Amino acid sequence: QVQLVESGGGLVQAGGSLSLSCAASERSFSRYNMGWFRQAPGKEREFVAAIRWSNRYTDYADSVKGRFTISRDNAKNTLYLQMNNLKPEDTAVYYCAAGGGLRSPSSYDYWGQGTQVTVSS
């Protein structure tokens, strides 16, 4: 059982930046593909970014490509999401997830509790 705890959310103006972190409870973290997803009120959970266990492949939703960067530090059991040039439409609860097949939320085995990101215009 992997426990995931997100941090770093908050309120920021459009054009600003935020950095999210996701701390994992297990050393086996390095064997999991990891992903970031988000869910806005009234909308389905959507894929944001993912990174393979090997740290050699990343994938991004078109809506965040060029603005967000996913990374991981397997020595620290931590996943990161650097978000730059934020837009009001990025407002959502952001979740990290472990063990999945990159883009599909249903393929992930473990989820964090989420952290709120609010971007004001």
pLDDT at 28: 82
Task: Provide the pLDDT for residue 43.
Answer: 96
List the structure tokens of 11: 């309120």
Contacts of 16 (CB under 8 A, 6+ apart): 86, 119
Query: Are 56 and 117 spatial neighbours (Cβ–Cβ below 8 Å)?
Result: no
- The whole-number pLDDT of residue 1 equals 83
**How many whole angstroms separate alpha carbon 19 and alpha carbon 103?**
21
Q: What is the reported pLDDT for 30?
A: 85
Inter-residue contact 1 to 99 (CB < 8 Å): no
Quote the pLDDT of residue 26.
Answer: 81
pLDDT in tens, the chain (121 residues): 889 999 999 999 999 999 999 999 987 888 899 999 999 999 999 999 999 988 779 999 999 999 999 999 999 999 999 999 999 999 999 999 998 777 999 999 999 999 999 999 9
